[in-house]
Structure 1
Amino acid sequence: MATHRLEIMDTTLRDGEQTSGVSFSASEKLTIAKLLLEELKVDRIEIASARVSEGEFQAVKDITQWSKEYDCIDAIEVLTFVDNGVSLDWMIEAGAKVQNLLTKGSLNHLTHQLKKTPDQHFSEISENIKLANERGIATNIYLEDWSNGMRNSKDYVFEFLEFLATQPVKRIMLPDTLGILTPKESYEFIKEIKDKYPNTHFDFHAHNDYDLGVSNVMEAIKAGANGLHLTINGMGERAGNAPMASTIAVINDFMPDVEINVNEKVLYTVSKLVENFSGVMIPANKPVIGANVFTQTAGIHADGDNKKNLYFSDLLPERFGRTRKYALGKSSGKANIQKNLQELGLQLNDDDLRKVTQRIIELGDKKQVVTKEDLPYIISDVLDRYTHEEKVKVESYVLTHSKGLRPSTTVAMTIEGKTFEENASGDGQFDAFMNAIRNIFKQKNLVLPELIDYAVRIPPGSHSDALCETIITWKNQDKEFKTRGLDSDQTVSAIKATEKMLNIFY
């Protein structure tokens, strides 16, 4: 089968910036442009609309200056308008060499927005292209609202294409401006055009209003489209454009006769940078680049991965510079936990693994997120619980904190099978708790160890809201010792650390 060479044009910096609330600075645009061309290796980038603002002008100037040094000025494109050469003047001053001229691809747009006849429109376009040529500017043509044009005014579209066949145009760009096409239409419309103009370069520009962007792109390629317009993270107006990451994965996995330059290994890196610059968060379940898409949650899946990678597909995370993860929560089985332990270089016997698994399930039932980095702390807490005989048990407590009143605590505690209950106030909830248990132990003529240090932390690198570790240092006569408590609530973790101390002390 003959190889079909496909150009990838990224329009994140132009069409993607039309995402509501997004505006890239000049330095951000330059950084993204460099990554797109040097690292991701797309063929072309559309970086701005002419005449928008002084900031936009400076961004284009910065990128064109860099691109001349990198010898890729022909890959830098700017959206322009049929405006008697005003856009061209702007472009030339900014240093750009390729215009993407916006024209009307439907009779509806031409009649009601421009209020002109096809002949008037074509004449003005011809003048623009002539002027661009005289100034050393290459021209690509956008047929805005082309998809509606093909649906409702096909004769006009082909009249337009007949005119463009007489013009020195490098590419004709076919946008589904309102994202209305079905995959069937995408194929049929482009096939009809390519059959009539087989030697003309046509780009397809998909929007995602019905979540059909990637499907429409696939059909456009099958129909013979020569180029695609994509955006990082699917950014763009309304529901956005066809997303870069998913489209590249689909082409690489399902279209072996299609050749592209894009380096999929850096897709995730570029996506995260654009996420940070734009402030538009990537959905956790976004294919290829979402936080959760290479995370196995169910224990049965982790078990299957241990047994000949039963839950793997061609969509391997390593292709995109990522790694597979095994989530820890209420659906976790032993296999999930073992996978995470292997990454940490830890091993547990079956009994200890069962105890740790149960603790993680308990946290998951509370809707807590547990991470791999939490595991050593959970293991320490769970196994430490079984180190000492549990003679003392805190059965229940009520912690109160009200504005203008001292915090108070009521504690019910079992000591060697006998239950005691006390209430006390303090300077804080934990201080009130300590005063209550001191009152209980006074009844047994015992003085508790002195609390000499109290430290709270979350597991380093965890990025998790699940766990808070409290480490308390106690002094009993001349001996110091530490106990740890682990819980999602700071005060409760301190109470757990204290309960361990009581079982050592008593």
Structure 2
Amino acid sequence: MKKDKKVTLEIMDTTLRDGEQMQNVSYTPEEKLTISKILLTEVKVDRLEVTSARVSAGEKEAVRKMLDWAKEAQLVDRFEILSFVDKNQSIDWAKSVGVKRVNLLTKGSYKHCTEQLRKTPEQHAQDIQATINYAAENEIEVNVYLEDFSNGIKTSPDYVYYLIDFLLTLPVKRIMLPDTLGVFNPWETYEYVSAVVNRYPEVHFDFHPHNDYGLGTANAMAAAKAGVRGIHATVNGMGERAGNAPLDEVVVTIKDFLAVHFNINEKKLHKVSQYVEMFSGQRLANNKPIYGKNVFTQTAGIHADGDKKGNLYGNKLAPERFGRKRKYALGKLSGKANLEMSLKELAIELSDEEKKILLQKIIELGDKKEVVTTEDLPYLISDIFETPANVPFKLLHCSINSTYELKSIAAIQCAYQGQVLDAYAHGNGGYDAFMNALQELLKKFNIPVPQLVDYVVTIPPGGKTDALVQAAISWEVENNGQKITLTTRGVNSDQNMAAIEATVKMINLIISRT
């Protein structure tokens, strides 16, 4: 890596093993299979670490499902599991599910060896040898983790080098250097990893960063610069404590700042992030780099103006690179350029005077801490300029009845193009019943039915049971032959009514685009 020639680094994704150690996270076998398929066939990571040996019967079922698919797809060699220095137990478990490669967890610091295992380095080495030899007899490849390497190389380097020297006498494919407690900084990572790599230039070393100080990505980049051949990461930075280095940040950062190539399809990073967020139930901050919902949204008017006049505020992190789009926020910091960009997206034309009045209203709402989205503009324009044609679809009446242990019932009445129609439906909850009834009417009115992809309900911090509720619903809709995601919001003291307001907004938005 110290030379200027371009190299290819492996990515081992450990979302389904180390990432599942995050508190309150557990995946079903079907979810694990879905994530593994996306990571291998779409994102195209090089390797997957999918579980730890001997965990549970449920985990065994999940791994078998993944390996059954992998055999058909001829991808068995991409799957790895964490195993332990237990001679035959982990290896037998790996054989029983069809895994061909294990990542053996050994002690990478003298302190862990002598105080946790209560063994001498020589005794630990003998146990490692017995386990690796048994794996070789059973035709299973072995990579080796040096657990607590970051502390070990700083406090007991002689022990670390003794262990590596010993491992090199055995059939080991890779040696993996974990910053188990996330205690490295980038300068230390480069210094210590360089020392190891330079001492053993022919060995394939991986680096496994944790994010306790928020330095996981920076340390991964330092390790790549020091010459490792592989980096470990998890989707969305999932993992124990503060998590692991996030896959998207690791790939994009190292690629952009170092002469490094990955086999990763960047356009699929967003998709796998969404699936992991959905399956794990762990929502990420909107300002998370690469994947966060806000990271390609310009808020300040001067930035939107610069983009309009020549992409003056652009960088390598173009949203199109990741299959996303630039957005322009509307609020008290907005300028004329923000508004014009949003109107252009909606194909709405206004006079200069109308734009001035509309922008002033947006700024006033921003001062009141109200959110205005691009999707809200048609309704805001309608309110200001009294153009009821912008809201052709109207919900006239809605009644929802929810009963304990029985399905909810919704009765609605809607008007469109001079027609007034009623519909009744059941559902698993009030909003589901409403949507079932609404879909019946939309088909009769020949209006496309939007696909709900996300639903977030919030109340103000400290809010009581009578607090206003905001429902923000994301929808997938067709736009000029392409599928795009739009978000509408509703505010009401009743959660169902807030969601219904957001839904009616989306219906009118769809009509305005057709």
In structure 2, the partner of 1:378 is 380
Residue 218 of structure 1 and its aligned partner are, at CA, apart by 0.9
In structure 1, the partner of 2:459 is none
Q: Which of 328, 340, 343 matches 1:341? A: 343
SS in 2 for 1:31: helix
In structure 2, the partner of 1:169 is 172
Q: Which of 33, 51, 67 matches 1:30? A: 33
Residue 267 of structure 1 and its aligned partner are, at CA, apart by 0.6
CA spacing shift, 1:141–1:66, aligned 2, 3 Å = same
Residue 385 of structure 1 and its aligned partner are, at CA, apart by 8.7
In structure 1, the partner of 2:215 is 212
Q: Is the 8 A contact 2:473 2:489 kept in 1?
A: no
What does residue range 1-150 of structure 1 map to in structure 2 within 5 Å? 1-150=4-153
State the alpha-carbon separation in 2 of the partners of residues 373 and 53 from structure 1.
Answer: 47
Q: Which of 331, 334, 340 matches 2:333? A: 331
Q: Is the 8 A contact 2:85 2:106 kept in 1?
A: yes
Q: Deviation per CA, 1:357-388: give whole Å up to 9, x if none.
A: 111112212211111111111111111299xx
SS in 1 for 2:83: strand
State the alpha-carbon separation in 1 of the partners of residues 491 and 354 from structure 2.
Answer: 20
In structure 1, the partner of 2:429 is none
SS in 1 for 2:106: strand
SS in 1 for 2:248: helix
Matched to 1:177, the amino acid is: T
SS in 2 for 1:302: helix
Q: Is the 8 A contact 2:113 2:119 kept in 1?
A: yes
Q: Is the 8 A contact 1:374 1:459 kept in 2?
A: no
Residue 3 of structure 1 and its aligned partner are, at CA, apart by 2.4
In structure 2, the partner of 1:310 is 312
Residue 77 of structure 1 and its aligned partner are, at CA, apart by 0.2
Q: Which of 334, 356, 359 matches 1:357? A: 359
Q: Is the 8 A contact 1:337 1:357 kept in 2?
A: yes
Residue 2 of structure 1 and its aligned partner are, at CA, apart by 2.3
State the alpha-carbon separation in 2 of the partners of residues 132 and 313 from structure 1.
Answer: 48
In structure 1, the partner of 2:158 is 155
State the alpha-carbon separation in 2 of the partners of residues 385 and 298 from structure 1.
Answer: 29
State the alpha-carbon separation in 2 of the partners of residues 314 and 132 from structure 1.
Answer: 45
In structure 1, the partner of 2:289 is 287
In structure 2, the partner of 1:191 is 194
CA spacing shift, 1:355–1:385, aligned 2, 3 Å = farther
Residue 219 of structure 1 and its aligned partner are, at CA, apart by 0.9
Q: Deviation per CA, 1:221-277: give whole Å up to 9, x if none.
A: 11100100000001111111111111111122111x212101111111110110000
SS in 2 for 1:77: strand
Residue 84 of structure 1 and its aligned partner are, at CA, apart by 2.6
State the alpha-carbon separation in 2 of the partners of residues 207 and 176 from structure 1.
Answer: 6
SS in 2 for 1:381: helix
Q: Is the 8 A contact 1:369 1:464 kept in 2?
A: no
Q: Is the 8 A contact 1:369 1:466 kept in 2?
A: no
State the alpha-carbon separation in 2 of the partners of residues 84 and 7 from structure 1.
Answer: 28
SS in 1 for 2:386: helix
Residue 466 of structure 1 and its aligned partner are, at CA, apart by 6.3
Structure 1 portions without partners, runs of 5+ = 387-456, 469-486, 491-506
Q: Is the 8 A contact 1:370 1:466 kept in 2?
A: no
Normalised to the residue count of structure 2, the TM-score between the two structures is 0.75
CA spacing shift, 1:233–1:286, aligned 2, 3 Å = same
State the alpha-carbon separation in 1 of the partners of residues 205 and 473 from structure 2.
Answer: 54
Residue 69 of structure 1 and its aligned partner are, at CA, apart by 1.1
Q: Deviation per CA, 1:69-128: give whole Å up to 9, x if none.
A: 111111100000111311111111111110001010001001111000111111111111
CA spacing shift, 1:48–1:361, aligned 2, 3 Å = same
CA spacing shift, 1:99–1:458, aligned 2, 3 Å = closer
Matched to 2:90, the amino acid is: S
Matched to 2:373, the amino acid is: T
Q: Is the 8 A contact 2:87 2:132 kept in 1?
A: no
Matched to 2:272, the amino acid is: V
Q: Is the 8 A contact 2:224 2:254 kept in 1?
A: no
Residue 463 of structure 1 and its aligned partner are, at CA, apart by 3.8
SS in 2 for 1:354: helix
Compare 200-209 and 82-91 and name the one that shifted more. 82-91
Q: Deviation per CA, 1:148-202: give whole Å up to 9, x if none.
A: 0011111000000110110110000000000000111111111111111100100
Q: Is the 8 A contact 1:32 1:274 kept in 2?
A: yes
State the alpha-carbon separation in 2 of the partners of residues 466 and 101 from structure 1.
Answer: 52
CA spacing shift, 1:459–1:88, aligned 2, 3 Å = closer
Residue 5 of structure 1 and its aligned partner are, at CA, apart by 2.0
Residue 458 of structure 1 and its aligned partner are, at CA, apart by 10
SS in 2 for 1:281: coil
Q: Among the aligned pairs, what percent are the same residue?
A: 55
Q: Is the 8 A contact 1:363 1:466 kept in 2?
A: no
In structure 1, the partner of 2:509 is none
Residue 467 of structure 1 and its aligned partner are, at CA, apart by 6.6
Q: Is the 8 A contact 2:381 2:387 kept in 1?
A: no
Q: Is the 8 A contact 2:87 2:128 kept in 1?
A: no
Compare 175-184 and 366-375 and name the one that shifted more. 366-375
State the alpha-carbon separation in 1 of the partners of residues 329 and 261 from structure 2.
Answer: 36
Q: Is the 8 A contact 2:51 2:59 kept in 1?
A: yes
SS in 2 for 1:267: helix
Q: Is the 8 A contact 1:373 1:460 kept in 2?
A: no
Residue 460 of structure 1 and its aligned partner are, at CA, apart by 9.9
Normalised to the residue count of structure 1, the TM-score between the two structures is 0.77
State the alpha-carbon separation in 1 of the partners of residues 209 and 218 from structure 2.
Answer: 10
The count of residues paired between Structure 1 and Structure 2 equals 401
State the alpha-carbon separation in 1 of the partners of residues 370 and 323 from structure 2.
Answer: 28
Q: Is the 8 A contact 2:287 2:294 kept in 1?
A: yes
SS in 1 for 2:214: coil
Q: Is the 8 A contact 2:141 2:173 kept in 1?
A: yes
SS in 1 for 2:105: strand
Matched to 1:11, the amino acid is: T
SS in 2 for 1:88: helix
Structure 2 portions without partners, runs of 5+ = 389-470, 476-485, 493-497, 502-514
Q: Is the 8 A contact 1:374 1:467 kept in 2?
A: no
